[in-house]
Homo-oligomer: A and B are copies of this chain.
Amino acid sequence: MRSLKSLGEREVIRIIQEHLEVMPRLPLGFGDDVSAIRFAKDVLIVLKTDMLVDKTDVPPGMTLWQAARKAVVMNISDLAAKGAKPMALLVALGIPRKFTEKDIRQIAKGLNSGAREYDTFILGGDTNEASDFIISCAVLGICHPKMLMKRKGAKPGDILAVTGNFGKTAAGLKILLENIHAPQELRETLLESVLMPKARLNEGLALASSQAVTASIDSSDGLAWSLHELSKASHVGFLVEKLPLAPEALKFAETHGLNPAELCLYGGEEYELVLTIKPQFWDKALSAIKNAGGKIIPIGKAIKENSVKLKTKEGLIPIEFKGWEHFKTTLKETKE
């Protein structure tokens, strides 16, 4: 019998799915970022649950307030990637007995801040005693069926784009987990990206309205992982022509002799959107995202050949299908 460690999270999920009967006529497949059901002719109800567990999702240096806010952001990010507007959140808490009243207040404030930041509310929840500190959020959102951005839909020739640069959280996690030094200002920027992640909700809603997007995913498991997931769902490959490397991550990598591409591709815990856009609709997408106060960075294109590659001066090199995976890796292990 295989152990969880040898299985890894994706295989665990596959095994679970094998035993679940599938609701008929689902607008979205089981493997997408969210679940959806058709509620009326022009309304999809979108649902998502994502659990934060301290030992895998809360790095040292993150306060309880930040952890609680992050638990909300993680869930909102998945709705953002689909173009769904969050309506309400539920929160089930697992709280270790050693926590104090002050801790509880910090958690509650963080949850509320996360919800209000994205114009939604915590509607209810449940509290329990547990060995780990756990926040299991569930979010309900709505979306017009025509606006829903699936993982599936990218076609060869589509422009591959992201809503922001990558690499800062991987660098920030190195600072937190390995006590690596960085100059004050740089350190603050890198830590901010880990401790105060943002969901690209305005960007996701604006892009969904533009109807220029053919496929979309959030990048919480890392850019490389997201590209492979989009590739798998859309049956296309990707040629990344220019890595969206954050200048701060480059600076950090140079100082410490690290590979900046590694920070950019395999970091995880970043909540940008990774999308494909029809070339003829690029301007439409650009104008929609500018109106929303966001940005969109073209980084390559979808290709027919089913592989994910990076263009470098030395030629094409494969981007590996790797990133954060529960059971297989621990916070300390992967983020190193």
Query: Residues on A close to B: CB < 8 A?
Result: 1-5, 7, 9, 12-13, 15-23, 26, 30, 34-35, 37, 39-40, 45, 47-51, 53, 55-56, 87-88, 90-95, 97-102, 104-105, 107-109, 111-112, 115-116, 121-132, 134, 136, 138, 140, 326-327
Contact = CB atoms under 8 A, between A and B. Distances in A.
A326 to B, nearest CB: 5
B136 A19 contact: no
B34 A124 contact: yes
Contact of A124 (B48, B98, B102): B48
Contacts of A26: 123
A8 B80 CA distance: 37
Contacts of A112: 19-21
Given A37-B123, A53-B128, 20 more contacts: A15-B105, A16-B107, A16-B108, A19-B111, A20-B108, A34-B124, A35-B90, A37-B88, A40-B40, A45-B45, A47-B88, A47-B138, A49-B124, A51-B94, A51-B128, A51-B136, A53-B94, A56-B128, A130-B132, A134-B134
Q: Tell me the number of copies of this protein.
A: 2
A26 B122 CA distance: 12
Nearest to A39: B39
| A-side interface mostly | mixed
A92 B75 CA distance: 12
> What 4 A-B pairs have minimum CB-CB distances, sorted nearest first?
A138-B138, A35-B124, A136-B136, A19-B108
A128 B134 CA distance: 10
Contacts of A93: 16, 51
A104 B12 contact: yes
A95 B3 CA distance: 12
A316 to B, nearest CB: 34
B127 A326 contact: yes
Contacts of A34: 124
A131 B99 CA distance: 16
A92 to B, nearest CB: 4
A189 B102 CA distance: 45
Contacts of A88: 23, 35, 37, 47
A278 to B, nearest CB: 28
A121 B90 contact: no
A108 B18 CA distance: 8
Given A7-B101, A19-B105, A90-B35, A12 B123 contact: no
